[in-house]
Amino acid sequence: MNLTKEQTEKILELAGMTCEYSELTSNDITKALIKIEDKLECHSDVDNFDSSNAKVLIVDDLELSTYQLSTLLKKIKVNPSIVHTKEEAFGLIKKQKFDFIFVDLFLPDIEDGLEVMKFANDFRNDKGLDYKLVAISGTDDLNLVTDCFNAGVDEFVSKSSRWHEQVLKIVIDKNESYTRKNFIRYDIDDTTATYNVKSLSKVEYVDELFNNISTLLLSGVQNIILNLKDIKSFPNEHSRLFTETYRKCSETGGKFILLSPSTPVKEALADAYLDEVITVVEFAEEAFALLNK
């Protein structure tokens, strides 16, 4: 296998090995690949799980990434389709039906990855399909994560040390009735999480979101960012979500920030006299600047 420097360094990173590129030997690469394979073998307890009916598309330009995902998915008897360019992705999405579409953000450019995500989401909506659209990337840039959600993805999998488990769980859970979530959470790090909220029009939606936030804060997270730009309706009586989340974040010594609140949310904040109490920002970089003070 002929590997570029970028691919080689990625292999070492995934294997948890540290070595100067100029000093690498073929034995080092072999050891690294064995370590990666050992990590994938941690899923052997699901080898008998039959997901053979799941149709999966992987859109990624790096052979290493597609190899990893393919190896992982085959353990649950899923043989994924793989494409490496946005043009190939467009063609296959229009031609075949899928249950899951995994798209790498850098394809190799961010614009290409986002274009595939937006196309897949628009095609799904136009044709009344219900496949799950998942972004995968090693980025920790909240702006880019937000861009993926804005393009229509249902989940964002960060290529952290446990990203294989996340992918596996998404596919194994395919038999659960699929409904578009009212919110999607992205854990930025051990202390901060952001929520991309789709709807808060019903009391059960508010309760579900608040219960998730409360559980997360009990686990050690301190900072909560709510992206509310998509909220079209927000009854004033639901303002308790903000007061209670603000209180809980304050008790942990953290911050509670509202990102890009829509007009209904701003009006509800003003009516409850919360607009000068709770921090509101329009852009993700403003939120991060406040957290890093």
| CATH annotation of 5-17+50-179 | 3.40.50.2300
pLDDT at 102: 95
240-258 pLDDT, tens digit each: 999 999 999 999 999 999 9
121-163 pLDDT, tens digit each: 999 999 989 899 999 988 878 788 888 988 989 888 887 766 7
Pairing relation of β-strands 100-104 and 56-59?
parallel
Give start-end residues of each CATH 3.30.750.24 domain in the chain: 187-291
Question: What's the average model confidence in pLDDT over 166-181?
Answer: 62
Entry pTM: 0.54
Give start-end residues of each CATH 3.40.50.2300 domain in the chain: 5-17+50-179
- Is residue 167 over pLDDT 60? yes
- Is residue 179 over pLDDT 50? no
CB proximity list for 161: less than 8 A, separation 6 or greater: none
Percent of the chain whose predicted confidence (pLDDT) is above 90? 29
Q: In which residue are the tokens 């073998």 written?
A: 41
Pairing relation of β-strands 56-59 and 81-83?
parallel
Q: Which CATH architecture has domain 187-291?
A: 2-Layer Sandwich (3.30)
Mean pLDDT score of the chain, rounded to an integer? 82
pLDDT at 210: 93
Q: Are 33 and 15 in contact (CB under 8 A)?
A: yes
DSSP 75: T
- Is residue 1 over pLDDT 50? no
Query: Sign of the CA dihedral 74, 75, 78, 80?
Result: negative
